[in-house]
Homo-oligomer: A and B are copies of this chain.
Amino acid sequence: MPEPLSQEMLRKMDAYWRAANYLSVGQIYLKDNPLLKRPLSIDDIKPRLLGHWGTTPGLNFIYLHLNRIICEHQANIMYVIGPGHGGPGIVANTFLEGSWSEIYPALQQDYEGLMRLFRQFSWPYGIPSHVAPEVPGSIHEGGELGYSLLHAYGAALDNPDLIVACVVGDGEAETGALATSWHSNKFINPVTDGAVLPILHLNGFKIANPTVLARITQEELESLMRGYGYNPHFITGDDPAVMHQQMAALMDTVYAEIRAIQSHARNNNDPGRPRWPMIVMRTPKGWTGPKEVDGKPVEGTWRAHQVPLDGLRQNPEHLKMLETWMKSYRPEELFDEQGHFRDEFAEVAPKGQLRMGMNPHANGGLLLKPLELPDFANYAVETPEPGEVDAEATRVLGGFLRDVMRANLKARNFRIFGPDETASNRLDAVYQVSGKRWDAAMEPNDTDLSVDGRVMEVLSEHMCEGWLEGYLLTGRHGFFSCYEAFIHIIDSMFNQHAKWLKVTRDLPWRKPIASLNYLLSSHVWRQDHNGFSHQDPGFIDYIANKKADIVRIYLPPDANTLLSVASHCLRSRHYVNLIVAGKQPAPVWLNMEDAIRHCTQGLGVWSWAGNHDEDPDVVMACAGDVPTLETLAAVSYLRSHLPELRVRVVNVVDLMTLQPVEEHPHGLPDEDFDRIFTKDKPVIFAFHGYPTLVHRLTYRRTNHDNIHVRGYKEEGTTTTPFDMCVRNDLDRFRLALDAVLRVPRMKDKAKAAVQAFTEKRQEHKLYVSRFGEDMPEVRDWRWSKEGSSAEKTSLDTGGDNA
């Protein structure tokens, strides 16, 4: 076994590691006496002991050895920490290397600084206990486990000089997201992307259990990693001196392997999938901590997970053990009297932006360049009259995205992500410019695959989301399209990302990143063919629970509004933008000029569609493409069956306009809302999602008692598109009935209309069961302005609120 470290270097590195461990323990326990200059007293101890010791010494060990490689090779390395609850370790390291004080000048490397460092940790109005956004160099909190390796791969894409070292906890390795993440190596191009170095940290235990990967045979574990396509290297032990030499040697090996792979690929322009190295590091949980407490083993067991010694107030023995433990790191060797980390050790760390705490990739906003965006209006569908022309909205968008892709090919900072659904969602025009990334075997009949493709497709929503997050967090742009129902698979990942965005908004040193853009298509109303399992519009509700300054929800009713919304989202920063749009041929309602106006306002009266805008009996509102279609059809039926009914049509694109302006920055002021929805007229609201969401957004509005919402009520199966509407009472006949029945002055006149609409619904049911498709009256229905305001007045297709 080579011993690459001189005795001098070994001494320094071990001292550095001890310092990091010492500061980690100090953060968990102490609020005073940071250098143990006087005997530890209970008054030095925090009242609540919060933090995770178990993983920390291992994280510190890896940090140290990465530092050595960085210094030796001036390597550009960032550190993604799966066991992100090991906050004290990363805080300690970024403090020792000076990043912390640079970002937070109030905390300097002196006695006072150490005191504050310890005290702030897990302290109210201090810093969180995990590797939170507050921690320099982090793009990954790791509170919820499973996403580290995906974030690492996302960061490595299009960053050929970057090595992303990613610690995967053996607990985390049991999660679904992580288990499939290993396959990311089939999507990395060794010529144009950076490298990911996975380090599986087998410390053997989770909160309360051993880990699976620590308890299978070495042969199985090696097979597993080789099966995933890696070249695994193992390091096992607990003697620091031995482990430092072994780890240094191993780091040299894997660094050389990575560079050899890259040199080969780049010199020979051979992007063929290499067998990337990875490390399996087996060290004791809570390494260097108390071996035994109260007669029970702690180091090397799950008992070391959080705070190995507690009850210090009641148990002076434990207090003494803590002092012994902390002194075992020999703080007096490490820090001078003033609390300054001694220079001879500090010099082991890299300088400037090479410090992992200061790597600009980990503060992606610093590197972010705006996308080059073609004018979306150029992709407009020509619409001489509302509803005259059909278009597949997402296919139209695909043309725009293709050119966004083209315009940014050189910058290499835009990618499209999708779980095997890009073509199904009809965005396949992008393949004309860039293929689907694939670095596994190819076969003659394959189409649109490319080892340099910028479309990321794999049948895992987790992988798409995780890669995209990693890509965005390191300062690039992306677009994720997904079947609406199955986006729930990454509910929790979205949740964690939204939390990250919320916290980083308030950290001035963290620069804004590009928004996370979701396009949900193949949505609930057009999953008639795949059936009930594919029908769920609930992601909207989920998003709406997050902080208003983070989330945006758009329901463009047609192709032109989709273009306008999508372009806006691609320009935006630090949001989560949710767009729901259909892929089937559907009427285009607005020409581009009106579409832009409508989207800018977020909602508006479609005066061309109503027949009596000024003083309506009823407001027919809609949000979503299918609800808009059904509403306009309902309005047509109303006009022909009951022309004296005065109808105003309102369409909502930006759902957050429904909320009060106090709740959401896009919220419409109450007086505007009242003008549009009236103060006292019935509102029949056809909504894409679950009806309750509209109620919850509008419950503070003047007229909310009169808002009657139709939407998805969890009814569905394999059937026809129109039958989906009927089963959920969102169909044109039901909406027309709703309108008629809510207007008292129509009571007597409406009987024939009510009968007609009711019969239509029955007729439909008989027709579809008999013929297996929607009745021609529905299929062939076209909007006609006959009897509408558009016929009566000069055409104004705009969504003018005034």
**Closest B residue, CB atoms, query A695:** B699
- Residues of chain A in range 664-715 having any CB-CB distance to chain B below 8 Å: 690, 692-693, 695-696, 699, 704, 714
A316 lies within 8 A of chain B by Cβ: no
A residues 164-211 with Cβ under 8 Å of B? 171-172, 174-181, 183, 186, 206-211
Are the C-beta atoms of B210 and A449 separated by less than 8 Å? yes
A143 partner residues in chain B, CB cutoff 8 A:
530-534
User: Does A222 sit within 8 A of B, measured CB to CB?
Assistant: yes
- What's the number of copies of this chain in the assembled complex? 2
Q: Considering the complex of A and B, which 6 residue pairs feature the smallest CB-CB distances, nearest first?
A: A143-B533, A224-B227, A176-B176, A223-B227, A179-B180, A215-B440
Contact flag A424-B177 (CB < 8 Å), given A130-B530, A488-B492, A489-B144: no
A267 within 8 A of B: no
Interchain CA distance A130-B488 in the complex, whole Å:
20
Q: Does A558 contact B (CB under 8 A)?
A: no
Q: Apart from A47-B773, A220-B226, what 11 extra A-B contacts exist at CB < 8 Å? A: A130-B531, A176-B179, A210-B446, A215-B440, A217-B441, A488-B492, A545-B692, A545-B714, A695-B695, A695-B699, A696-B696
Inter-chain contact A541/B531, CB cutoff 8 Å:
no
Residues of chain B within 8 A of A547, CB atoms compared: 714
CB of A229 within 8 Å of the partner chain? yes
Contacts of A541 in B (CB 8 A): 541-542, 545
The contact string, 1 if C-beta is below 8 Å from chain B, for chain A 394-431, is: 00000000000000000000000000111110000000
Bound complex: CA A531 to CA B499 (Å): 11
User: Does A719 make an interface contact (CB < 8 A)?
Assistant: yes
Contacts of A228 in B (CB 8 A): 220, 224, 227
Query: Number of residues in A with C-beta < 8 Å to the partner?
Result: 123
Check: A485 CB closer than 8 A to any chain B CB: yes
Report whether A436 and B529 are in contact in the complex, using a CB–CB cutoff of 8 Å: no
Can you give 24 A-B contacts (C-beta < 8 A)?
A: A47-B771, A85-B530, A119-B772, A123-B718, A123-B769, A129-B529, A129-B530, A129-B718, A143-B533, A144-B485, A144-B533, A174-B459, A175-B461, A176-B178, A176-B463, A207-B424, A211-B459, A220-B228, A227-B227, A499-B532, A503-B532, A541-B541, A545-B714, A692-B696
- Using CB atoms, name the residue of chain B closest to A719: B124
Is A71 an interface position by the 8 A CB rule?
no
Interface centre among A125, A211, A692, A719 (most CB of B within 10 A): A692
CA distance A491 to B462 in the complex (A): 13
A481 at the interface (CB under 8 A from B): no
Q: What 0/1 pattern do residues 83 to 101 of A give for CB contact below 8 A with B?
A: 0010000000000000000
Question: When chains A and B are docked, how far (Å) is the Cα of A486 from the Cα of B297?
Answer: 30
The minimal Cβ–Cβ distance linking A361 to chain B, given in whole angstroms, is 22
Within 8 A of B (CB), among A580-594: none
Chain B residues lying within 8 Å of A463, measured Cβ to Cβ, are 174, 176
**A765 neighbours in B (Cβ, 8 Å):** 125
> Closest CB of chain B to A39's CB: distance in Å?
22
Q: Looking at the complex, which one of B446, B461, B532 makes contact with A128 (CB distance below 8 Å)?
A: B532
Q: Does A108 contact B (CB under 8 A)?
A: no
A28, B225: Cα distance in complex, Å = 42
A750 within 8 A of B: no
**Which residues from B are CB-within-8-Å of A442?**
215
A181 to B186, alpha carbons, bound, how many Å? 21
Selected contact of A529 from candidates B48, B206, B441, CB within 8 Å: B48
A463 to B531, CA, bound (A): 25
Q: Is the CB of B714 within 8 A of A502?
A: yes
Report the separation of the CA atoms of residues A186 and B119 in the bound assembly, to the nearest whole angstrom: 43
For A491, what are the chain B residues with a Cβ–Cβ distance below 8 Å? 488-489, 491-492, 542
Q: A209-B457, A224-B224, A224-B227 are in contact. Are A769 and B130 (CB under 8 A)?
A: no
* Residues from 201 to 252 in A contacting B, C-beta threshold 8 Å: 206-212, 215-217, 220-229
**Known: A179-B180, A220-B226. Contact between A124 and B720, CB under 8 A?**
yes
Return the chain B residue nearest A550 by Cβ: B714
- Report A92-148 residues with CB < 8 Å from chain B CB: 119, 122-130, 132, 141-146
Once the chains are docked, how many angstroms separate the CA of A225 from the CA of B144?
Answer: 27
**Given A145-B459, A297-B445, A436-B209, do A531 and B171 touch, yes or no (CB 8 Å)?**
no
A271 located at the interface, meaning its Cβ lies under 8 Å from any Cβ of chain B in the complex: no
Chain B nearest Cβ from A223, distance in angstroms: 4
Judged by a CB distance under 8 angstroms, whether A496 is at the interface is: yes
Q: Is A159 an interface residue (CB 8 A)?
A: no
Q: Which residue in B123, B224, B438, B696 is a CB contact (below 8 Å) of A223? A: B224
